[in-house]
Structure 1
Amino acid sequence: MNKDLTSSQVARKNVLNNPYALSQLETHLELGGLQFEGETVFTKLQAAEILAVDERTVDRYLTNHSDELQESGYRVLRGKALKNIKLAYVNDTNVVDISSKTPSLGVFNFRAILNLAMLVTESDRARAIRSRMLDVVIDVIAEKAGGHTKYINQRDQDYLPAAYIEDSYRKQFTDALRDCLSMGHFKYAVYTDKIYKAVFCENAAEYKKVLRLATKDKTRETMYAEVLKAIASFEHGLAVQMRKESERLGRMLRPSELDAMLAEAENNPFLKPAIEDARVRMASRDLGFRDALHDKLEHYIQSVPEGDFDRFLGEKSRALEEQLADAESLEVLKRLKDR
C-alpha cells in the first residue's frame, strides 16, 4: 500500500478527515490567510507563496485534481460572497491580491490548502509541510489514544458488548469442537486460525506480526467490534451446524467434514456482507490508526471516515477502564448475560 501523501488519496484523506489533527495543524503551521465566513481562506497567490511555487503551478493542480480539491473546500466566490470578501479586504489601507473588478475569486480553506500541499511535488516548502503534518497526526492519535494504539479498538463504545457476545459464542464453538470433532487437542488452535483466515485472511501468528503484538498479547482484545461480530457469526453458525450433523450421523465429525462446513460458511451470501465489512474496517483503521498494513487485505483499504476519528479519539470514546467503571455500561453487559 502506497502511503506517500503525494500519490495516495487514501493517505491524504486520512489526514484531512482527522479533525483533531487539523485543529493542531492550523495552530502549529501558522500559514496566515484571510478570515472569511467563519474560517481561514487563502487566495491562489497566497497558496503559491505558502508553497513557494508560481500561480501557474497552482492552476495546474487545480485542473488535474479539481474534484479532490473542491471536496476538501476549494471554491470559487461569486455574487454576494465575492462582494463580501471585497468589502472586507479591498480598500486603500488593506492591500491583498483581490482586484475590485474581478468577476470571481477562487479560495482555498485550510483543509484545501493542506490538500494542495500534499499534492505539490516540486516544492521543498510543500515537502516540509507534509513532514510536519505526519508528525502532528502521529502525535495527536497517540495522545488521544492514551500514549499507544494497540488497544485503540477498545475506546469504541461498541467494543465491550461485541467482546462479551463474541466470548459467549466462542464458548459454544469450543464446546462443539470438544463434543463433535474427532481430532486432538490442537483442534482448537487449528480451527481458530481457519476462522480468522475466513474472516480476515490471516491466521493468529500473521495477525500478531502485522500489529507487532507480543506473544502474550491476546489477539481478540485488539480487534474492532465489527470484526468480533463477524467471528461470532462464524462460531455460532458452525457450532449449531456441527451438533446437528454429528447427531444426524450418530458419531463425531471428521476434520474434512468440518472443513466443508467452514468453506460453505465463508461463501454464505448471508455472512458475506459482515465479512466484507470486517475486512474493510480492519484494513482501513489499522493503516490509519496503527500504521499497520495487512498485505492480504490491501485491496479493502479505504480512507478512515471522519466519524471514526470521533468514535475512537473523540469525547465519546473512552479507555476500557473508564467504560468498566461506568454503571450504564455494566448494565448493558448484565442484560446481555441474562439473555
Structure 2
Amino acid sequence: MRLLMVAGLVLCCGCSQGFKEPTESIESLTASQASAGISRYRGYSLKLSGLTSIDKYVARQLAKSRSQELFLDGLTSIDQDTAKELAKYKSNPKNFVCHDFLYLDGLASIDIHVARELGRLRARLSLNGLTSITAEVARQLANIRGNRLCLRGLTSIDEEVAAALASFSPRRFGGARDTPILDLRGLISIDNSTAKELKNFRGTLILAGLASIDKNVARELRWFQGVTLNLDGLTTVDKDVAQELSHVSGAVSFERLTWIDKDLAKKLVASQKTGISLNRVTSIERDVAQELAKFVGEYMQLRGLTTIDVNVAQHFTKFQGAVLDLSGLTSIDEEVHEILNSKPFIRLPEKYRDRK
C-alpha cells in the first residue's frame, strides 16, 4: 500500500498538470501516457509540437483533451485511422459552440481518405503546411464544423479548388454559427477564374498575401458575397481597381495601403463599422479627407501622416466617429494646430497637445 502511494506521488510530481512540462518537449507518447496526461491537463492550450508521429490509439486519447487548442503541428503524416480519431476532438462534447482549434501544420500533404475524416471535425482546423491540394481534398476539408479553415501554405489554387473552398459553411452541417473564416493569405496571385469562384464565399476571406491585383480580378471580387474581404497585402490600388472594389457589398480591409483615393475612401467609410486603420498612408488630398470624415465608427487611425494642410485639417474637424488618431504628425503650422486642437476627438502627439 505504501509502495503504491509513493509511486503515485512520484507520478504526480513528475507530471505538472498531467504532462511533463514543457509539453512541447514531449517527443513520444503511448496511449496510456496520453490518457493519463489528458485526464489531468486543464490548460487552455495543449502544445504537443514535439510529437512527429502518433497512432490511432494515442490520437483517440488526445481527442479527449479539454483544452480549447490542440497543437500537433510536429506530425509530418497521419493515416486515415489516426485522422478519424483526431476528428472526434472537442473540448466540451456538451457545448454546441465549435470554437476549439486543431493545429496540424506539419502535414505537407494529405490524401482524400485523411481529408474525408478530418472533414468531420467539430473544431477549427489549421493545415498551413499544405502547399497544394486537389479539388476533392478541398471539398472534404470544407465540411468541417468549426468556423475557421487555415490553409496559409497554398501559394496558388485553380478555379476548381477555389470553388470547393468557397463552399466552406459550417452551418450546413449544424456547426459553428459564427462567421466562417477562410484563411488563404499564402496566395501570391489569383486569376479571373479563381476570383470568380472565391467571390461566392459567405464569410471572411483572407487574401492578405496578394501584393497587387488587376482590374479584371477586381471586377470579379466586386461581387464578393461574404462578410469581409481581407486584402491587407495591397500597398497601392489604381483607380480602376479602387472603382471596382468600391462596389463590394461587405467590408473590405486594406491595412497596408500607402495611398488612397476618394472612391476607396468612400468604400471604407461605408463598409467598416468599428474602425479604419490607414497607418501606412503618408499623404491625402482634401477630397479624401472629406470622405474619411464621414466615418461614424469607433476609431480611425492615420498615424502615417506627418503633416497636413489647412484644408485637410478643416475636413477632419467634421469627423463623425469617436476618435481620429493623428498621433504621427511631426510638423504642422500654427493655424493647423489651432484647428485640430479645438476638437477633443482628434488625438495629436503629446507635443502638440501641450502646445500653447
Quick check: TM above 0.5? Answer: no
Q: Would you tell me which structure has more helix in proportion to its own residues? A: 1
Q: Would you tell me which structure has more strand in proportion to its own residues? A: 2
TM-score by length of 1: 0.21
